[in-house]
């Protein structure tokens, strides 16, 4: 019985995560289409300008997204090496994210080495990083998820979004509370993303990852592999404080 309930929760979480990826896959396809047949280093902002209206509409319809856009790989754009077509939702509305992308500036926002970007490039699959405070970008707590944009075998960048961790927790918690016992979702850095009980708080870092010590837990299940997330169901008598 417990295994069936846990399996159902894992499947529901997987479907919801895939739903979150759908707009990113759509954006990745559109960027790839725009870059198709364009010489390396010759893509220009005018080739992508038509995507602004589409990105705006997605931000207006998806509450979990704080921002959404395209981050180019090195050597893709004609105008500059670092390039973002990234829109952000603020209190005053939706607008273009403006950050320092000047190549020789010491304060350059160098996203090439950031895990959400480099992970998608390295693994050729979606990646997610956080929660973290993106001081140079969103300037508050986010999870950044990215889908690689490929033109044939060439990596041209990522379609990415900043997700609101509160929105993530809002839909995870009811699923966790429906499980037979105290359950949580934890990322690869041992940070709790959501919990079905007051035993753990979001953002709390476990001393040991459940996957590293599964004997201390009733059930430990990997969620969608690209996330690095784990669902764990506690043994009531074990204290991991």
185-214 pLDDT per residue, tens = 999 999 999 999 999 999 999 999 999 999
| Stated pTM of the model | 0.91
9 close to 175: Cβ distance less than 8 angstroms: yes
Task: Indicate the length of the chain as a whole number.
Answer: 241
Which residues in the chain are classed under CATH 3.30.450.20? Answer: 11-163
**Cα–Cα distance, 19 to 236 (Å, whole number):** 33
Superfamily of domain 11-163: PAS domain (3.30.450.20)
Helix or strand holding residue 54 (H, E): helix 51-61
**Cα–Cα distance, 173 to 167 (Å, whole number):** 10
Task: Quote the pLDDT of residue 1.
Answer: 57
Reported confidence tier of residue 11, pLDDT bands at 50, 70, 90: very high
Task: Quote the pLDDT of residue 185.
Answer: 98
Tokens of 56: 């705006």
Q: Which of 14-23, 82-91, 98-107 has the lowest mean pLDDT?
A: 98-107
Task: Quote the pLDDT of residue 237.
Answer: 53
Peptide bond preceding 131: is omega within 30 degrees of 0, i.e. cis? yes
């Amino acid at each position: 019985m417990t295994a069936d309930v846990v399996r159902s929760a894992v499947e529901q979480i997987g479907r919801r995560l895939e739903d979150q990826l759908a707009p990113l896959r759509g954006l990745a396809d559109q960027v790839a289409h725009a870059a198709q047949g364009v010489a390396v280093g010759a893509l220009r902002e005018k080739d992508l300008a038509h995507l602004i209206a589409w990105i705006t509409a997605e931000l207006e319809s998806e509450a979990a997204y704080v921002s959404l856009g395209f981050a180019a790989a090195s050597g893709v754009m004609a105008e500059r090496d670092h390039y973002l077509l990234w829109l952000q939702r603020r209190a005053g509305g939706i607008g273009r994210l403006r950050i320092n992308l000047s190549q020789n500036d010491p304060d350059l926002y160098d996203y090439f080495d950031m895990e959400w970007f480099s992970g998608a490039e390295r693994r050729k699959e979606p990646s997610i990083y956080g929660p973290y405070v993106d001081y140079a970008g969103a300037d508050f707590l986010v999870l950044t998820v990215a889908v690689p944009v490929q033109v044939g075998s060439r990596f041209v960048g990522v379609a990415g979004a900043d997700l609101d961790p509160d929105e993530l927790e809002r839909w995870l918690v009811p699923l966790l509370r429906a499980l037979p016992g105290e359950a949580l979702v934890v990322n690869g850095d041992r940070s709790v993303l959501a919990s079905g009980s007051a035993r753990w708080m979001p953002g709390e870092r476990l001393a040991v990852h459940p996957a590293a010590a599964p004997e201390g837990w009733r059930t430990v299940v990997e969620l969608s592999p690209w996330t690095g997330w784990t669902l764990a169901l506690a043994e009531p008598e074990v204290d991991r404080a």
